[in-house]
Amino acid sequence: MFRFIKAYIKSMRLYYGFVTGISGWLGVAYYEYVTKEPVELLRKTVILTILFLSWGINQIINDYLGLKEDRINAPLRPMVTGELPYKKALVTSGILLLITFLIFGFYLEPIAIIPVTMGIVLNVIYEYAKGYGVLGNIVFGIMLSMPLAAGFFASGSLEYPYLTKTLIGLIIIVAVINAVMTFYTYFKDYKGDREAGKKTIVVKYGIKKARIIALLITVLPLLSFTILYPQVFNGITINETFLFLSIITVILQLWTGFLYYKYPRGDKTYYSLSFNFRTCACSQAALVALFNTKLSLMLYIATYVFVGLLFDLHSNSKA
């Protein structure tokens, strides 16, 4: 049992928890901003715990669906080696997801089950969509914006309409941030994706062209916010904290693109993932400053530190 739990937790890749967790925290912060009331501590803790772990639980499903390419890209992953029996792992994830639905349905807010379900469905769709170029990035981006919606809906009762223009704008921006993030992950998976027939952007255009794209797409998150801000963030002031964190975030995004331009192959391609995930989660933490400056600063610092620490536990690129 201990061996199974260890292999399951390893496969969850907990550094990803900050990507889904900060996305969910953004939803909670926006809810508190809209309602002008703080979310009860226990409720907030339950919401964020679920959303921090949501990627890891879903990752088990993703690993099962991607076994073909993982046998080439990551032959030492627990599910590939047999250390994590896929049937038992899938049943465990199924039970955990059922518990999640029950918590949302009976303790939190039932409407939050909708984005949670969408996230699970999109995770399955993604494994097939990634074989069709940019479609995979779009599906992945939308999937990783679902914790934001879940965090917002689960925070408390809401009056219709549930989807405000600002919430939709935040979902789009977070989707763009995560779509860019997942593009960079395709570099390390190039060989396996190509052998498995997955025509990701990197496979479709080749390493040389993809490394140019890596530089060009660094501006997409900033561009999406710049375009959407006048349309959907009316009345929300760009404060000094948000501006400061945004400047740092743009630098992180530019540097991430440069890393993959310079190191599109080899060990550094894998280790650049740590910086990539930090940039993604920190970008979301910066958005929190629109609604709660103190919280945003704490999340930004904690995210940058702990994503790196957790990633270092996965130092073997083949595992």
- When pLDDT is cut at 50, 70 and 90, the band that residue 149 belongs to is very high
275 in Cβ contact with 220 (< 8 Å): no
Does 53 fall in a domain? Answer: yes
Q: Quick one: CA torsion of 33, 171, 20, 217, rounded to 10 degrees?
A: -130
- Which of 145-159 are b and which e, b meaning 16 or more Cβ less than 10 Å from the residue's Cβ? bbbbbbbbbbbbebe
Residue 199 main-chain phi, psi, to 5 deg: -90, 70
Q: Which domain holds residue 204?
A: 16-236
Does 89 fall in a domain? Answer: yes
What's the pLDDT score for residue 3? Answer: 85
Q: Which of 7-16, 95-104, 200-209, 291-300 has the lowest mean pLDDT?
A: 7-16
- For the chain, percent of residues with pLDDT exceeding 90: 62
What's the pLDDT score for residue 284? Answer: 97
Euclidean distance between CA atoms 78 and 4, whole angstroms: 9
What's the pLDDT score for residue 260? Answer: 95
Using alpha carbons, select from 270, 247, 243 the residue that is nearest to residue 259. 270
Average pLDDT estimate for 86-92: 89
- When pLDDT is cut at 50, 70 and 90, the band that residue 316 belongs to is low
pLDDT at 63 over 70: yes
Does 58 fall in a domain? Answer: yes
Average pLDDT estimate for 2-11: 85
| Chain center to CA of 207 | 24
What's the pLDDT score for residue 161? Answer: 63
What's the pLDDT score for residue 318? Answer: 64
Q: Which of 4-13, 109-118, 201-210 has the lowest mean pLDDT?
A: 4-13
Does 8 fall in a domain? Answer: no
pLDDT at 314 over 80: no
pLDDT at 70 over 70: yes
Count of structural domains within the chain = 1
Does 231 fall in a domain? Answer: yes
Residue with tokens 């763009």: 176
What's the pLDDT score for residue 262? Answer: 94
pLDDT at 142 over 80: yes
pLDDT at 107 over 70: yes
Ordered DSSP codes for 81-107? HTSS-HHHHHHHHHHHHHHHHHHHHHT
Using alpha carbons, select from 306, 246, 252 the residue that is nearest to residue 276. 252
What's the pLDDT score for residue 49? Answer: 93
pLDDT at 61 over 80: yes
- The first and second tokens of residue 314, run together, are 């996965």
Residue type, 18: F
- The first and second tokens of residue 114, run together, are 């909708």
pLDDT, tens only, 181-230: 999 999 988 888 888 788 899 999 999 999 999 999 999 999 999 999 99
pLDDT, tens only, 237-294: 899 999 999 999 999 999 999 999 999 988 889 889 999 999 999 999 999 999 999 9
State the chain's mean pLDDT as an integer.
Answer: 91
Euclidean distance between CA atoms 27 and 150, whole angstroms: 7
Using alpha carbons, select from 284, 290, 168 the residue that is nearest to residue 231. 168
DSSP 26: H
Average pLDDT estimate for 18-37: 94
pLDDT at 169 over 80: yes
- The first and second tokens of residue 53, run together, are 């772990």
- The first and second tokens of residue 90, run together, are 């899938």
Does 241 fall in a domain? Answer: no
Does 195 fall in a domain? Answer: yes
